[in-house]
């Protein structure tokens, strides 16, 4: 099957990033969210990313304009997926929510449509179990920020067919991504390592080992990471990081117990860039404010 039309469910940071790379890759894209204002913000962000791509020489203006024309917005789930070849769900990391969305998609999507969940930790087998097309269900784990990160983890569920894996691999490659195939296990590959590093960094901050800025600097310059663990946590969202750790703690055990300081930040509403304050503070344009130290 040749994929031409992709629907992306959820217009948050991950959803808008997936819509961007899909449109740049030449696919017709429908972005769906239940809130119109969320979709409008996502489209503005996509436009800024396209403009940045032109400034950095990654795209020419004609390519950016063509990519933007390939994206449409839809508040109706039925309208968004009615003729999609591939649907990529990119909602919150909540199992019940993902299962419910997959059940709805199974009812309204054409019979040939592949259903993919963008998840960093959760079981595609469990998410697909409520559908009648488990062979056409799969996990595609994109990394944040999607326009810049090269990897997509492809995780097959118990019943995912070889054909489905090869189709989504080809789609990811057309989006300019490299792929790895992962056997289903909580956290997959990158998510397990990232969660451990991020959680250990929170413990070091809580223990006063070093400042957040210096911990990030040490990880970037000492270990070659492109982004420090706190910079990444603020980008992903501390609430998202907490949900991932809670799931890994439940499924993999004690070493993933969330740091108490992370719980405190989330309870205080310090969620990262999206709230203007997380480990660091941000201005209205999402730029990190200088440290007060």
pTM for the model: 0.88
pLDDT digits (tens, 9 = 90+) for 244-274: 999 999 999 999 999 999 999 999 999 999 8
* Tokens 């499924």 -> residue: 251
Q: Is 276 left (phi over 0), alpha (psi -120 to 50) or beta?
A: left
Average pLDDT, integer, range 191-203: 96
Judge whether residue 202 has pLDDT over 90: yes
CB of 93 within 8 A of CB of 64? no
Which of the four pLDDT bands, split at 50, 70 and 90, describes residue 292? low
Query: Which burial class, exposed, middle or buried, applies to 37 when counting CB atoms under 10 A from its CB (0-12, 13-18, 19+)?
Result: exposed
End-to-end CA distance of the chain: 57
Q: Which pLDDT belongs to residue 284?
A: 81
| CB crowding 257-292: b at 16 or more within 10 Å, else e | ebbebbeebbeeebbbbbeebbbbebeeeeeeeeee
Strands 5-9 and 86-89: parallel
pLDDT digits (tens, 9 = 90+) for 33-90: 999 999 999 999 999 999 999 999 999 999 999 999 999 999 999 999 999 999 999 9
Whole-angstrom distance, CA of residue 206 vs CA of residue 225: 22
């Amino acid at each position: 099957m040749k994929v031409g039309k992709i629907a992306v469910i959820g217009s948050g940071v991950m959803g808008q990033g997936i819509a961007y790379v899909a449109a740049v890759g030449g696919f017709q894209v429908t972005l769906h969210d239940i809130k119109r204002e969320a979709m409008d913000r996502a489209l503005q962000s996509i436009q800024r990313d396209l403009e940045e791509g032109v400034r950095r020489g990654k795209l020419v203006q004609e390519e950016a304009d063509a990519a933007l024309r390939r994206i449409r917005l839809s508040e109706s789930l039925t309208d968004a997926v009615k003729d999609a070849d591939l649907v990529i769900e990119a909602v919150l990391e909540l199992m019940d929510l993902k299962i419910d969305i997959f059940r709805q998609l199974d009812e309204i999507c054409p019979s040939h449509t592949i259903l993919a969940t963008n998840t960093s930790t959760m079981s595609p087998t469990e998410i697909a179990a409520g559908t009648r097309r488990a062979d056409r269900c799969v996990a595609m784990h994109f990394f944040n920020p999607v326009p810049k990160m090269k990897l997509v983890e492809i995780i097959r569920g118990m019943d995912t067919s070889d054909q489905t894996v090869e189709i989504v691999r080809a789609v990811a490659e057309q989006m300019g991504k490299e792929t790895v195939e992962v056997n289903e296990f909580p956290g997959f590959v990158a998510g397990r390592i990232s969660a451990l590093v991020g959680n250990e960094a929170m413990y070091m901050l809580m223990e006063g080992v070093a400042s957040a800025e210096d911990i990030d600097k040490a990880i970037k310059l000492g270990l070659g990471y492109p982004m420090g663990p706190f910079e990444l946590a603020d980008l992903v969202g501390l609430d998202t990081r907490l949900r991932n750790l809670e799931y890994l703690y439940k499924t993999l055990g004690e070493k993933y117990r969330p740091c108490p300081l992370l719980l405190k930040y989330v309870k205080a509403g310090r969620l990262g860039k999206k709230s203007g304050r997380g480990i660091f503070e941000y201005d209205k344009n999402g730029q990190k404010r200088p440290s007060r130290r």
